[in-house]
């Protein structure tokens, strides 16, 4: 199990670009990273986590230009007030044109522009990434690299030790409802 200490280590982008998966600290908790445009890598993350097929992953972006679906005007306005930061916005999608491995049959999936500079710099190089929490479905999220290794062992291509997460919680999840009001989902 190879471990590095920085998202800036060239091996992180190389593993992701080659279709691999990486456990790293995000701006909230440890997550399993894979390129969002790589269907095989996304499916591999779902298999490693034991994640339910109907759950859409959150897509991390470095800029609004990296959005994988159009950003509607109301969501764009909301993004100006919360990004970069630990806030995910549920974006409506056209399931006929959006990548099925991301929307997974849902009419929306979340995007987030992380508050961590080094993570945004990585995403600027690799393109959008998915980053579900580093845990098996139903287990507590890993708050340090040791717990992540205990969960996944050799199933992960690369671990990035970003230290222990203190008081970490998943990102806040917001949606604009049909009335045009911001609704907090978590």
Q: What is the CATH number of the domain that holds 79?
A: 3.90.870.10
User: Of 21, 155, 43, which Cα lies nearest the Cα of 102?
Assistant: 43
What is the pTM for the complete model shown?
Answer: 0.95
What three-state secondary structure class fits 10?
A: helix
Our count of domains for the chain comes to 1
pLDDT of the residue at 179: 83
pLDDT confidence of residue 170: 80
163 by Cβ neighbours in 10 Å (0-12 / 13-18 / 19+) ranks as: exposed
Distance, in Å, from the CA atom of 141 to the CA atom of 93, rounded to the nearest integer, reads 28
State how far the Cα of 13 lies from the Cα of 10, in Å rounded to an integer. Answer: 6
At 1 the pLDDT is 76
User: Could you tell me the residue range of the domain that residue 157 belongs to?
Assistant: 3-184
Pairwise CA distance, residues 51 & 63, whole Å:
27
* Amino acid 90: pLDDT: 95
DSSP state of 140: P
The whole-angstrom distance between residue 59's C-alpha and the CA centroid of its chain comes to 5
Q: What is the pLDDT of residue 21?
A: 98
The pLDDT of residue 177: 87
Residue 174's contacts (CB-CB under 8 Å, 6 or more residues apart) are 78, 82, 87, 88, 89, 90, 182, 183, 184, 185
Cα-based angle 154, 143, 66 (whole degrees, multiple of 5)? 80
* The pLDDT value given to residue 119: 97
Which parts of the chain have pLDDT scores under 70? none
């Amino acid at each position: 199990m190879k471990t590095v200490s920085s998202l800036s280590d060239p091996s992180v982008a190389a593993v992701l670009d080659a279709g691999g998966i990486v456990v790293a600290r995000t701006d909230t908790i440890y997550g399993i990273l894979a390129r969002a445009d790589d269907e095989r890598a996304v499916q591999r993350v779902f298999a490693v986590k034991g994640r339910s097929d109907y759950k859409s992953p959150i897509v991390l972006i470095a800029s609004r230009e990296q959005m994988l679906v159009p950003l509607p005007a109301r969501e764009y306005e909301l993004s100006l007030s919360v990004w970069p930061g630990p806030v995910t916005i549920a974006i409506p999608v056209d399931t006929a044109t959006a990548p099925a491995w991301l929307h997974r049959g849902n009419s929306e999936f979340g995007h987030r522009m992380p508050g961590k500079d080094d993570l945004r710099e990585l995403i600027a190089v690799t393109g959008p990434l998915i980053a579900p929490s580093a845990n098996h479905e139903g287990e507590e999220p890993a708050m340090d690299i040791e717990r992540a290794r205990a969960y996944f062992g050799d199933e992960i291509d690369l671990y990035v030790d970003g230290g222990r997460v203190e008081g970490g919680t998943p990102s806040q999840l917001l949606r604009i409802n049909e009335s045009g009001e911001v609704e907090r989902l978590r």
